[in-house]
Amino acid sequence: MRSWLDARRLQTVVLRTADELMAIAYRSRPRVVLLDARDGPIESLTACRRIKSDSFTGIVPVVVITVNEDLSFAAAFDAGADEVFREGVPPEEMLLRLDALLRRSDRDTFVHPSTRLPGALEIELDIARRLEADEFFAVCYADLDHFKEYNDRYSYYDGDRVIRILSKILHDVVKGTCGEAGFVGHIGGDDFLFVMPVDELQQTCAEIIGTFDALVPFQYSEQDRRAGYYFGKDRRGQLHKVPLMTVSVGVVTNERRKFTHAAQVSELATEMKSYAKTLPGSVFTIDRRSDSHDNELPTVHTSAEQRAGDSS
């Protein structure tokens, strides 16, 4: 096990009590905790329960080392252990199980707790991978309009439900259209970012905003839904009409631009999202500018309902 730690360049700190463990875990979350229960099984189980009972430290993977007669598997796992090793386990098996433990821990750490979508780090890695592969891709930044007012009128519980609905729409549409070539991440709050091949852009974004516009009215009371708006207070306490929520999507592609790192893409996607939010209704705006023609106007697409209304 020491060889495994050294091979992964994990700095080792030896602690003697559960109090010491909790003190260091609260200040700097450990990569992994190894509890040697061969000398003190009761103390080890206590330490395991304590670190797993806190939401901040509970995601830290805990490995318990024991001998056959000292501690049962059931007792260790019941205390919250993520892995248990008894003396005599083949080294090859131990290494494989420890590596798998860290992979599971990373997967759980880098996803948003409510939507289970990858977070900012995984988003950046996906964009960087596509840049390195020299692919043509589109990065889409989705954000809800009038979400704060909705939270104020209803509740944070209702707002969280709307966020989960949007996450499900994004995931199902992007994955349904693009399969493994599509990626959906959750930046936080009502901000999402999804990535896909350029060829799938129009169809995917149109389906997303069309589906959202069809479902979101049912997140309101019947009175608000029938009216299509409600009265809310602005920051100055003045009443004003608040329309039903819409979704704005800002889109950036590398068809006409050369990006060297993910931060450039994210910055431009944020700019396009901000522009989309200035427009009424659910829209997706595509940046058609090139590196040499930054003054060109982006292309704006509205929801399917709005396009039908415009054509009539």
pLDDT at 309: 39
Homologous superfamily (CATH) for 2-109: Response regulator (3.40.50.2300)
pLDDT at 295: 57
SS3 157: helix
DSSP lists the bridge partners of residue 232 as: 240
pLDDT at 305: 43
pLDDT at 308: 39
| Distance between CA atoms of residues 39 and 175, nearest Å | 50
Given a cut of 70, the residues of the chain with pLDDT beneath it are: 68-71, 292-300, 302-312
pLDDT at 311: 31
| Distance between CA atoms of residues 130 and 109, nearest Å | 23
Pairing of β 83-86 and β 62-66: parallel
pLDDT at 312: 26
Specify whether the backbone of 115 is left (phi greater than 0), alpha (psi in -120 to 50) or beta.
Answer: alpha
Where exactly are the structural domains of the chain?
Answer: 2-109, 120-311
pLDDT at 310: 39
| Distance between CA atoms of residues 122 and 111, nearest Å | 8
Classified by CATH at the fold level, domain 120-311 comes out as: Alpha-Beta Plaits (3.30.70)
pLDDT at 245: 97
DSSP H helices in the chain: 2-7, 18-27, 41-52, 73-78, 91-109, 120-132, 147-153, 156-178, 201-215, 222-227, 262-276, 304-311
